[in-house]
Structure 1
Amino acid sequence: MPLILKDNRWRCDMDRLEAALAEPKNTLLLLCSPHNPTGKVWRREELETMAALCQKHGVRVISDEIHMDMTWGEHRHIPWSEVAQGPWALFTSGSKSFNIPAFTGAYGFIPEENERDSYLQALKGRDGLSSPSVPALVAHIAAYRDGAPWLDALRDYLQANMRYVADTLNNAFPALCWQPPEATYLAWIDLRPLNVDDRALQQALIAEQKVAIMPGYTYGPEGNGFLRLNVGCPREKLERGVEGLIAALRSLS
C-alpha cells in the first residue's frame, strides 16, 4: 500500500486500505512500523484505525518493528500490541539498534497460544529450527540490559548525521527543502524537484563519483525520484557520499 506525501508528512489512505482489506484474498496485513523506507512513525490514531479495519474484515496483522528504537525528536514508537483488536504477531530484533545482525537474532510476540505453537511448528518444519542461536541470546540480553547509554549516544550521532544531510543538500539545492525522517537512519531523499533521470544519476554516482546509494525505484514506481541514503556510518564516510551525490546531481543539471 503506497503512502502519500502531503504537507511534508507521509500518510496512509485509509479508504484505499479498507478497500484492500475487504478483498477476500487479502487475509494478512504486513505492517512496517516505523515505516521503511519513508521513516514514518505511525500515530496512535492511525494504528487504531488500522486495527479496527483489520478486525472488521477479519484480517490478521504481522507488525515488523525492527526500527522501533530509532525514532527522532518528539516522535514516539507505539507497538502494535497497544492497539491490537484481532489476531496479531509482532516481530523485532536488536540488530538495527545495536548493530548485531551477524548474530542472526530476532524475536516475536504471538499472544494466542495455538497461533504461537503453529508458527513454531511451521518454522521447525521448513527450516529445521527449534531453538535460537545461543550467541544471539547472549548478545540481545547484554544489549538490552547494559546498552542504553551506548544507544543514547548512537541516537544523538545519527540525528546529527541526518541534520548534516539536510543542511548540506538544501544549501546546495534550495529547491529540495528536504527534511529528515521521523525515524530510522535511512534518509528517503525526494529529488523530484530537480527533475533528474534516476538511471542517469545512478550512472553518474557509480561510474564517476564511486558512490553507491540505493535508488528509490528499487521499491517500485512510487520510489521514482527518490534515493535511500544510509546515514548509519561515520561522519567522514557520510560526507564523502553526500559530496559525491551533490557532484553527480550538478553534472546532470
Structure 2
Amino acid sequence: MNVGIGLPIGAPETLLTWAERADAGPFTTMGLLDWLVYDNPEPLVALAFLAGATSRIRVQTEVLLAPLRDAALVAKQAATVDRMTGGRLVLGLGVGGREDDHQVTGIDKTTRGRRLDRQMAVMHRLWSGEPYGDGVGPIGPAPARPGGPEILFGGYRPAALERVARWGNGFLSAAAPPMAGGLFETVRRFWKQHARDGEPRLVAQVNVALGPQHVIDDARAAAHAYYAFTGIADRMVAGMLTTPDEVRDAIVRFTDLGADEVMLYCHGLDPDQVDRLADAST
C-alpha cells in the first residue's frame, strides 16, 4: 500500500519543513487542499515551490477547484509543474461547493459540473499539443506525462464518479471505509461501462493527528473551522484518527477495499507528525 501525507494549510511558511521530511520518509505523495475564500495557500503555487525542494515525492492537489479557474491557464500551470518535476504532479480536481468561492469569481455554482466537463475537453486537447481552437494555440509547454498529468476526481454524486471514467485516471475519496467501499465499486462500474482499459486508481483520504494532546486539539480546531460550512464539522472531527493503531487499522481497511494509496491528511501544524506518521504507516 502506498501512503501519502496531506499538508496542513494553516502555516504556509512551515510547509518546506514538512515537504523535506516527507520526501526523506516513506511517503509516496504529498497533497494540499484548495479553497479560494479561506486562509490557505494556493495549491499549484505552493506545490510548485515544494516540488523544487524535493526530488522523489509526488505533489497532488486535493482537490483543485477547477471551475473557479480558466481552463487554458490551469492546463498551462499544470503542464509546467508536471514538466519541471519530471512527471511528479497528480492533479486532483473537483467542483467545490462554497457559495463565497463562486461569488468572488463570478462563476454560476449551478453550472460547475458542466463547466468542469468543458474544461477537461480543453485541457486534454492542449496537453496533447493540439490548438486551443478558432485559430489559437497550441499552448505549451508539453507535460512530462504524454496526454497530461495524472487526473484524480473527488466527489460523491454519480456525475462526479462517472467523470472519473470519462476524463480521469482515478478517484480521490474523502469518505470513511464503509462509505468508500460503495464509492469505489461505483467508480469501477462506470469504468467498465466506458470500456476503459485496466483499472481506475483509487485513493483514500483520512484526517489524522498524532502527538501530544495540544497537537490533537489544534488539529481538531482547524478541521472544525475547515468543515464548518458543510454542516457536518462535528462528525468530521469525530472521525479524525489520533493513535498509531487507528492509522494502521485504516490503512488495512482501505487496502482490503482495493485502494491503491491512502493519504493521511494533517490539520495540525506540528511537523513532527511526519515522523510519527511514518512510524505508524510502515
- Fold match (TM-score > 0.5): no
TM-score, normalised by the number of residues in structure 2:
0.33
TM-score, normalised by the number of residues in structure 1:
0.35
Larger Rg over CA atoms: 1
